Amino acid sequence: MDILIYFVVFSKPVKITTKEVRSVVEVLDDIIDEYKENKPKEKRDWRTYEQRLSRRIRTAIRSLEPLIEDAISELKISRGETRGTKPKLLLKQKVELLLMKHLFAKSNREMSSMLVVFSLLSDIDVSYKTVERLYSDEQVFLVLLNIHALLLMKKGVERPDCSGDGTGYSLTIKKHYATEAQKLKDKRNEEPTKKKKKPGKIGRYIFSFRLMDLDTRMYIGYGTSHQSEKEAFLKAMEMATDVGIGSIRLDRYYALQTYVEFIERLFGKDVLIYVIPKKNATIKGPLKWKKILHDFVNETVGYLGEYYKRNQSESGFSEDKRRFGWKIPQRREDRVDTCNFCTSLWHNMFWMGRN
C-alpha cells in the first residue's frame, strides 16, 4: 500500500508519493537526453579565454607574498623548547618554498637542487629532507589555513551556492586511480563478502572531496582520506562551516535521508539541496527530504538545471589534474593532506583574479 504524504510548501498543501518519485526516476534518462538536446551549448572565445587566464595567473603570483605575510601576522606563536638546531628557514620562507615546490611539481630532491638556482636571488640552501618536513610542519599548515580564509574573505564568499564532488589521486605512478577504482568496484560485485582492511595499511590511492563556490569557482572546503570518499566528504563539509552554504549539489551517492539531515544540521534549515534520487528512493524521512523529492517530481527540468551546475566541480578537478598531475608524491597521511591542500590553495589563487 502506497503511503500518501501531505506537507506545506509555500503555504499550499502538496501531496507526493513514493510511486510518483520512482516513476520519474525510471524515465530520468530520457528526460536528461531531452534536457541536454534543448540546452544551448556555449562557445568559448579562446582569445579572450587566454587573456583572462594570463591575468589570473599574474594576479596569483603577485598576491602570493602579501597573502603569506598577512596569514603569518594572524598567528600567535608561543616559543617552547629552544634547544636543538636552529631552523635554516623562516616561517615565511617555509611556506613560500612549499607552495612553489607544489606549483613546479618537482620532487623533494629536485626542488632541493633547484634552490641553488634560486640562491642567486636568496640565500636559501637546504637538503631535500628539509623540504620533505615542510609537509608535516604545524606552523606551515596553520599559515596555509589562514591563506585559505583570507582568499575567501577578499572575494566576499559567504553562504555561497555550491557544488561538491569527489575524486582520487594515485600514490604511486604504477597505479592510476580511475583504473584501480574500477577494478575495486568489479571485485566487490564479484565478492559479496567484504574483507576488512588490515590496520595501518596504506592504499595505493587517496580520496579527495572539494566543495566549490559556483560564483567564484573557488574551493570553500576540502577533505582527504585514505579510507573512503565519505570520510573526505565529512571533512570538507566541516571546513565549509566557516563560510556557510546557501545551496549544494551532490551526486547520487549522497541521495540519502541521512546526508540531508547532516547537511541541514551543519548549515541550517534554509540550505537548498539538489540530488538525484536513487531507484529505490522513498518519501520517508525529514521534511527537507520530502521537499527535495517534491521539486524533483514536479519541477524536473528546472531542478536538473540547478543540479547540473555541479559539472563545474568536474571541470575544477580536470583543471587541477592538468596543472598538478594525478599523483600525490607523499605517503604519510598528514603529508598527503598538506599536498592536497596546496592544490586547493593554488586553485583558489588562480581564480582570485577573476572579474
3-class secondary structure, 327: strand
Dihedral sign for Cα atoms in the order 50, 55, 59, 61: positive
Please tell me the distance from the alpha carbon of residue 163 to that of residue 241, in angstroms, as a whole number.
Answer: 15
- Residue 62's pLDDT is 86
In the chain the beta strands, taken as DSSP E runs, fall at 4-9, 12-17, 161-170, 205-213, 219-225, 247-249, 272-274
As beta bridge partners, residue 273 has 248
- β 4-9/12-17 pair status: antiparallel
What is the full DSSP assignment across 140-167? HHHHHHHHHHHHHHHTT--S-EEEEEEE
Would you write out the chain's pLDDT as a tens digit for each of its 355 residues? Answer: 444 544 444 445 457 899 999 999 999 988 888 888 877 777 666 567 777 778 888 888 888 889 999 999 988 877 666 666 777 788 998 998 899 888 877 666 656 655 655 554 456 667 778 888 899 999 999 999 999 999 999 999 999 999 999 999 988 655 444 555 556 556 655 555 545 444 444 457 899 999 999 999 999 999 999 999 999 999 999 999 999 999 999 999 999 999 999 999 999 999 999 999 999 999 998 999 999 999 999 999 999 999 999 999 999 999 999 888 888 888 888 999 999 999 999 999 999 877 6
Interval 311-321: pLDDT, tens? 999 999 999 99
- Residue 235's pLDDT is 96
Q: Which amino acid, one-letter code, is at 230?
A: K
Q: Which amino acid, one-letter code, is at 195?
A: K
